Amino acid sequence: MTDTTTVYAVTDPATGATLASYPTITDDELRAAIDAADRAHAEDTSTVADRAALVHRVAELYRERRDDLAATIVREMAKPIEQALGEIDFCADIYDWYADHAEEFLADQPITLAAGSEGSAFVRKSSVGVLLGIMPWNFPAYQIARFAGPNLLIGNTVLLKHAPQCPESALAVEAIFHEAGFPEGAYTNVFATNDQIADVIADPRVQGVSLTGSARAGAAVAEIAGRNLTKVVLELGGSDPFILLSTDDLDAVVESAVATRLEGNGQVCNAAKRFLVVDDLYDAFLEKFTAAMAAVEPSDPTDPAAQLGPLSSPAAADRLQEQLDAARQQGATVVTGGERRGNAFTPTILTGVTPENDAYREEFFGPVAVVHRVTGEDDAVRLANDTPFGLGSYLFTTDHDQALRVADRIEAGMVYVNIVGADSPELPFGGVKASGFGRELGTFGIDEFVNKKLVRIG
């Protein structure tokens, strides 16, 4: 029976009012979708060049519908409009980049045989079949692009389950793939319940699952996938450190700190959330950071000048409020902000967060920064790694040798040195520890769901 607790609907993030709702897929429709995806894969005779041309057309359609796609993102999860437009632009770049390089990435890889061996050997990359993507609400278009783009180029087929609060983004993206010319079954949106998704993962025709979401969701999906020997890629939460050890431009560092903490209304997995500042810079950084955060006011996300909108839903705002209340009760100091206005929060800075405070190891999914004073490099690395997460990290230093030394010691999938907001199609994205495993984007992203078949010729 279908679980009716999953509701696909667009709700006003500011009020929680339902603006539009969509029916969940029936069990029969879902079985038909899996059948169509499996059939499309089995009957596919296209070349990499053929598929690259279709993916280039996808990029063109994203650019043509840029304004509408971005407006839908704002409507569904209240991302400031300029950031939503940037998300659509990034998606188009991802599709074009993979299409430009697909033949290179999927070319045969010759192997040099050991001395004395006769013949030759190479690895040929090919598709594995039907894949399931489970996507979050905070990047309604981008998350799809980095999963679907490379996998459709490989020749895999995609079933896409989007977040229940992003049904219109899901339908708009599906329409683009269909209009671009992908055959029936190559890309299918499914408004499925969690119970139905468990059945999809267990289906022997489904060869892989990629989930971006919470650690709880990742664990549930990985458990089902493990029982069915289905490969899974997980991009989960993060509590990324922002380490400041030295600088010759503190104002620029503060500007970077504000940008990374407030992006997406503070609801970005790989945004900096913990700011670890060396003793001799701590007071000056905190003063400037406080002033810069306090200068940002929540506003209407449809305004091109908006830097910060409401959280994605009343439930998200309630959760953040609970975290802030607990942090205060357990001894944290609110330096600035902490004020809730409807479902929006003023930019908030916490200090005095000790290991005994729940906030020490929690991920704040909202515009909340935790600032720590550290004595030096070793203390910063210790604190940076004292978290269950290991997604990204940010390091600011004027010492090149120190940058490489600290980067080696940080337990994270990504280290950005003296820069924020530098994601790009060619750069692999992913984490370690409770932040998941596997990679998206870059050459690693196109290698996750590929049969790397050895051909040895005597």
Active-site residues: which are they? 235, 269
Sorted by sequence, the CB contacts under 8 Å of residue 329 that are 6+ apart come out as none
Strands lying side by side in the sheet with 206-212: 187-189, 157-161, 130-134, 206-212, 231-235, 436-437
Cα 339 to Cα 18: distance, rounded to the nearest angstrom: 25
Q: What DSSP letter does each residue of 119-168 carry, written as one string?
A: SEEEEEEE---EEEEE--SSSTTHHHHHHHHHHHHHT-EEEEE--TT-HH
Would you say 150 and 446 are in contact if contact means Cβ atoms under 8 Å apart?
A: yes
* C-alpha to C-alpha distances, 53 to 58, 96, 105, 172, nearest whole angstrom: 9, 9, 16, 20
Cα 185 to Cα 41: distance, rounded to the nearest angstrom: 8
Q: What is the DSSP letter of 429?
A: B
Which pair of structure tokens corresponds to residue 359? 């906030």
* C-alpha to C-alpha distances, 330 to 99, 275, 321, nearest whole angstrom: 51, 19, 14
Sorted by sequence, the CB contacts under 8 Å of residue 104 that are 6+ apart come out as none
Cα 266 to Cα 76: distance, rounded to the nearest angstrom: 16
H or E element at residue 211: strand 206-212
